[in-house]
Amino acid sequence: MSDKRFIYMNKLIRVKWLTFLFMCLISGIAKCQESHSLASNIEPKSEEQTNLPALAPMGIHGANMPAKSHVILTVMPVFDNHSGWLIGTKGVSSSYVASTTPTYIPSTQNPTPFMRVVPQDVTSTFENIMLAYGVSDNFTALVSASVVQKQLYAQTYFGDSGGQPIGGNYIGTKGLADLITNGIYKLYDDKKHRIQASLGLAYPLSPNTETMSLFLPNATYDIERAHYAFQPGARTWDLFPGVLYAGNQNAWSWGLSYRGRLPLAANPQGWRYGDLHEFNGWLGYSVISGVTSTVRINGATQGTIRGFDPQIKGYAVPTDPNFYGGKWVEVFGGSSFEGEIIGLKAYSLEIEAGIPIYQNLNGPQIRNNWQAGAAIKYKM
């Protein structure tokens, strides 16, 4: 596929999703206004009704459990973007990275002493689908699958050293990112406070030997194995432990959560991602019944890649497994809309977007710029 056609298709996917979500929001706002104008004719709700839990933010995994024998189907597109370079918390230029970063020593196939290909912009589109079933009032079984499409523009520098760029090219990969099964158990629930524990397992089904056409420092092209972050997945068995507390009182809701991703062993190519630990805290307010706005703080830490793939050559900076992971803090804002307010009781819509406010990366590493997504849920 040509560079122009690849860019066009990637943008078209995002435009279709954004257009659909915009129409949903316009319809929802109109119905909300209609419902609000009729509020004076509706009898006040009892305290038990007003204390029904509000939807947690979109980015909180497994917070909203279905009732016994009920099913929730979720379709969730997520987009993110990376550009710019960090070494720890310090920003550096692409030419500095190309001039000072040595290739990864253990690899026997490094063609140059310094990294000569520096990614400039990375955009990822995740298409997630989740199916949750209420086995009992306290236990939910959840299966999720994710397909990812990644687009990269990389800049190539001339020769074995120096900071003279000679051009670049667009690269794309696509494939199954994850297939995960989860069990979520409600440990405590008094209608105002609840505590849940979860445990999940990711299966080694994603491809991790995808190739890409790379523009080289001698102004030629070569087909090479894509670097670690540009593979659709790691093809490892991963464990997902988690715990969540959520509370609500009248129009207010809040919560804290932890979720880890712990690779259990290296893949057949000899590597696995570092352990990921994510912590969340959020606060929500129901503007009117069925519409909740939330603010969420996410903090995470992740180790470097353990092991390495000898087929991943050292032209590009992300071929070094030491340049992965770090610590970061992000802030998200979002809203949830219950379908009942527009006459679609079985549906709900959640949207959320966020930006990093702190990044301390094992680098040089490309920095995160933003993330945005939506979740459309159907309850059966």
Predicted local distance difference test score (pLDDT) of residue 191: 87
Confidence of residue 161 (pLDDT cuts 50, 70, 90): confident
Predicted local distance difference test score (pLDDT) of residue 111: 63
pLDDT at 291 over 50: yes
Confidence of residue 29 (pLDDT cuts 50, 70, 90): very low
pLDDT at 36 over 50: no
Are 194 and 186 spatial neighbours (Cβ–Cβ below 8 Å)?
yes
Confidence of residue 155 (pLDDT cuts 50, 70, 90): very high
Residue owning tokens 């040089």? 364
Cβ atoms within 10 Å of 120's Cβ, excluding its own: 16
For 215-276, the DSSP string reads E-TTS-EEEEEPPGGGSS-----EEEEEEEEEEEETTEEEEEEEEEEEE-S--TTSEEPPPE
pLDDT at 40 over 50: no
Predicted local distance difference test score (pLDDT) of residue 49: 42
The pair of structure tokens assigned to 35 is 């419902």
**CA of 120: how far to CAs of 20, 196, 267, 318, in Å?**
30, 41, 28, 12
List the single range of 24-38, 205-219, 266-280 with lowest mean pLDDT.
Answer: 24-38
Residue owning tokens 């590597």? 271
Task: Reduce the DSSP state of residue 345 to 3 states and report it.
Answer: coil
Domain 3-379 is classified in which CATH homologous superfamily? Autotransporter beta-domain (2.40.128.130)
Q: Region 112-125: what's the mean pLDDT?
A: 92
Cβ atoms within 10 Å of 93's Cβ, excluding its own: 12
List of E strands, 135-237 = 139-157, 165-189, 193-202, 211-215, 221-225
Q: How far apart are CA 352 and CA 347, in angstroms?
A: 17
Predicted local distance difference test score (pLDDT) of residue 54: 66
pLDDT at 21 over 60: no
Are 29 and 22 spatial neighbours (Cβ–Cβ below 8 Å)?
no
Confidence of residue 96 (pLDDT cuts 50, 70, 90): very high
Q: Region 311-336: what's the mean pLDDT?
A: 94
The pair of structure tokens assigned to 367 is 């920095």
Q: Region 114-141: what's the mean pLDDT?
A: 96
Residue 348: name the closest of 295, 284, 283, 290 by CA.
Answer: 290
Q: Tens of pLDDT along 345-357?
A: 999 999 999 999 9
User: Average per-residue pLDDT in the chain?
Assistant: 87
